[in-house]
Structure 1
Amino acid sequence: MLHKILDVTVRDVRFPTSLEQHGSDAMHTDPDYSAAYVILHTDCGLKGFGFTFTLGKGTEIVVCAVKALAPLLVGKTLQEIVSDFGGFYRLLTSDGQMRWLGPEKGVIHMATAAVLNAVWDLWARAEGKPLWKLLVDMDPRQIVSCIDFRYIMDVLTEEEALALLVKAREGRRQREDQMLREGYPAYTTSCAWLGYTDQQLKQLCTDALWSGWTRFKVKVGADLQDDIRRCRLIREMIGPENIMMIDANQRWDVAEAIRWVGNLAEFKPLWIEEPTSPDDILGHAAISKALAPLGIGVATGEQCHNRVMFKQLLQASALQFVQIDGCRLGSVNENLAVLLMAHKFQVPVCPHTGGVGLCEIMQHLILFDYICVSADLSNRMCEFVDHLHEHFTSPVVIQNACYMPPKDPGYSCEMLESSVKTHEFPEGEMWKAAHEEMSLIHK
């Protein structure tokens, strides 16, 4: 079958997570986990599903960007696209007029991710494999052909990428079997959102410990004394043997970050995540250098625009943990480039998940990274947030605080149609009810 793409539809889907402070941090105090949800319709009836993650307001802008990119896909067959996937990626990001809106960053790049996530989902479904398995079974040359090496060849050439992938083939089957048995290590962010009460923190930590969690992330950055109190509470709850990370979500200037984290060093955090502007490469380098004597690394990447910025962060030794994101970068294609660069620099990859659907898609990339690139689990783990999985047809499976490899064909992007209809903005039943309630309050 040709799997010719006949149409691209996109819907604005929002979940009111702000009502219970899920996802709250020092910079994003009232997030409504949302998605620009894309469906590719083909001539044979097979569909591809994809999305990009947002926080509510502005999702309509991403929807408009997806609609602007759609004509570049309509009429093409899946085979046309994937036979030169790197070339198609460049085509999608190099439209002579639309690239001015980026290039390869911001809303237009998030829309690119949504569209390409749907293409990868369609490809995996057509092959009858989960996305991670599609990648694992690919020949290294085919993997390399999916990557646009423009702007990163001073750090990673096609020949180097191929050599890294070929070298990692040794032991690949054993690592795949290991993942199928044991799963990929995860850490939880669900226990310590900034808006949670102390009672919530204690109860969630107790429940998580009982369920086998040993790695915990704490949101910080709004108030130093409160951070000290909350970090002490969490550390006392989880004990000295378990791992703690802290996350400021870009709250500080460089010098402020160094001072603030110094005051939290007694709680032995493994890393400080997003300590300053995600665009400040030299600032991250300065923070990394200052915190190294304290044994605290810097993690960043969830709002890193593209592979070029990751290249520079790695060149500048500005981060000790790479946090890729399946909806901020240009889908799997660009994430493959970053995985390979991180491996060359020997910096562990610990993806960002957080928002709606990110756990579902990022599990595929970490499995590929371990099985076919890094062959190493040292200091590697993937974030897990226990929210909204019930809205997906193939939700993540966590066992013993590990991601178990998904078995269903595709990229795990498909939402339940009932959930989409209920939460589509602004006409979904949930949003209509919320609007009516607000209207009554203001009368």
Structure 2
Amino acid sequence: MARGRICRLSVHNLRFPTSLGSHGFDAKHTDPDCSAAYVVMETDSEDGLKGYGIMLTLGKDPEVVVGAVNALTYYVLHKDLGDIVGDFRGFCRVLTSDEQLRLIGPEKDVVRLAVAAIVNAVWDLWAKQEGKPLWKLLVDMDAEMLLSCINFRYITDVLTEEDAYEILQNGQHGKKEREKQMLRHGYPAYTTSCASLGYSDSTLKELLKAALNDGWTRFKVKVGADLQNDIRRCRLIRDMIGPDKTLMLDANERWDVPEAVEWMSKLAEFKPLWIEKPTSQNDITGHATISEALAPLGIGVAMGEQCHNRMMIKQLLHKKALQFLQIDSCRLGSVNENLSVLLMAKKFGIPVCPHAGGAGFCELVQHLIIFDYISISASLQNRMCEYVDYLHEHFKYPMVIKHASYLPPKDAGYSTEMKEESIKKYQYPDGEIWKKLLDAQDMCSDLTLFFS
């Protein structure tokens, strides 16, 4: 049973200079540094356990999210953990209903990100106190307890609490067998580690060869900056992986709607399963138009990692604007809101293929997708979870990939806890790594001024 009064909530601004290695380079982000607002939640309970929450961002973003977390601590400090999880729906509604923060959230934008970091820490602490990894905590909950965590406000036109209860009850059939299957084989993954737009052809070939030798069969490629270069790189990749392996494309919102349709018609020869984020994350009708136009080519649209909230995903599903739903373990207000999205996806018959990568996304989202298979979807058809191979060394309980699949975590918690030495090194701007980088930048600036 969850216990302890929350007596301290601290938040760190962490940045990892991944741009130095061109990791994550795509058509919209040409110098991305993976960053995070990292929350540490402490209680006065005798067990001394702490909860760790993380919200992944890029570059300078953590400074804004850290400020929003601090603005929300009023609703968290001195609250009893048992009371929070006993009325999780109410707690989340309070966090997302601050009238003084409505212009910058709280059902979207920066406040939503801060809510995710805080609530991630609550789930981590609760799972640790129960002695279970988060996926197992969720799997072992009965339908009533799971539903009590979900805020159905604004989505009852497509998913009622009664609908959700029926889905969860149906998920009981074969549940034990699916859990055994996950423990034996894990959840299928795809890799995005090989084909960053910042990699040279030689690096691309080297990474693809290594991935193929490791048993990878599903690959995602960044596209959208230059059509002829995309055609050349897609041909190189398809030739290397062969006709039977799965290829996905990601444009990172680079195109207008007509441009997306035209561009993808030129890339259709490479048989991509989907095009991800072909246009603005905010353009639901645009994604619907693209989905309809690409259907005859056998290309689906993947979308969801940038969605602000459950209402936006509701509209995407209702308008048939996507064929693959990509949940995000942080952006959607943590586990609670992702539960509602997983249930909506099940009702609409849309496979969930989560977004991951950066510092911690893989660690977190593995819990959600394993729970989804065991308790909700009961299917692996056209389903896979994204994987990238960097920054896992900073986590105390890093995810484990075997035979191109996520193995279910065994350690208690949400896998959010980072190593103390990593926090000290990468905290911005006072961490050891950033002191060196900033000093080097200052030296270069001084030399430029001297010689100008």
TM bucket normalised to smaller: over 0.9
1:164 corresponds to:
167
Deviation per residue, 1:143-167 (Å, 9 max, x gap):
0110000000000001110110001
Which one of the candidate residues 258, 263, 287 is aligned to 1:260?
Answer: 263
Shift of 1:312: 0.4
For 1:45-97, what per-residue CA distance to the aligned partner results, in whole angstroms no more than 9, with x for missing partners?
A: 22100110011112101000000111101011111001111111111101121
Q: 47, 58, 63: which one pairs with 1:60?
A: 63
- Please give the per-residue CA displacement for 1:153-211, whole angstroms capped at 9, x wherever unaligned: 00000111011000110100000000000000000000000110000110000000000
2:105 aligned with 1:102: yes
Which residue matches 2:223? 220
Q: For residue 175 of structure 1, what is the amino acid of its counterpart? A: R
Structure 2 residue aligned with 1:394, among 392, 397, 400?
A: 397
Query: What is the number of equivalent residue pairs in this alignment?
Result: 443
Aligned identity (percent) is: 64
Q: What letter corresponds to residue 102 of structure 1 in structure 2?
A: G
Query: Residues 304-341 of structure 1, C-alpha deviation per residue, up to 9 Å, x if partnerless?
Result: 11000000000000000000001111100000000000
Give the structure-1-normalised TM-score: 0.99
One-letter identity of the residue aligned with 2:427: E
Is 1:72–2:75 an aligned residue pair?
A: yes
Give the distance between the partners of 1:383 and 1:179, measured in 2 at CA.
Answer: 17
The answer to whether the 8 Å contact 1:187/1:401 transfers is: yes
1:32-431 paired onto structure 2 within 5 Å: 32-44=33-45, 45-431=48-434
CA distance in 1, matches of 2:104, 2:176: 43
* C-alpha RMSD over aligned residues: 0.7
Letter in 1 for 2:301: V
Deviations along 1:346-394, whole A, 9 cap, x unmatched? 0000000021100000000000000000000000000000010000000
SS of the residue 2:393 aligns to? helix
Partner of 2:20: 19
Q: Answer yes or no: is the 8 Å Cα contact 1:324–1:335 preserved in 2.
A: yes
Query: How far apart are the structure 2 equivalents of 1:89 and 1:40?
Result: 16
**C-alpha contact 1:3 1:46 (8 A) present in aligned 2:** no
AA of the residue aligned to 2:305 = E
In 2, Cα distance between the equivalents of 1:407 and 1:56? 32
- Which segments of structure 1 move beyond 3 Å, counting only runs of 4 or more? none
* Alpha-carbon distance, 1:18 to partner: 0.2
- Residue segments in structure 1 that go unaligned for 5+ positions in a row: none
How much does 1:438 deviate? 1.4
Other structure's SS at 1:279 match: coil
SS in 2 for 1:97: helix
- Partner Cα distance (2:146, 2:21) in 1: 42
Unaligned runs of 5+ in 2: 447-452
In 2, the alpha carbon distance for the partners of 1:67 and 1:321 equals 35
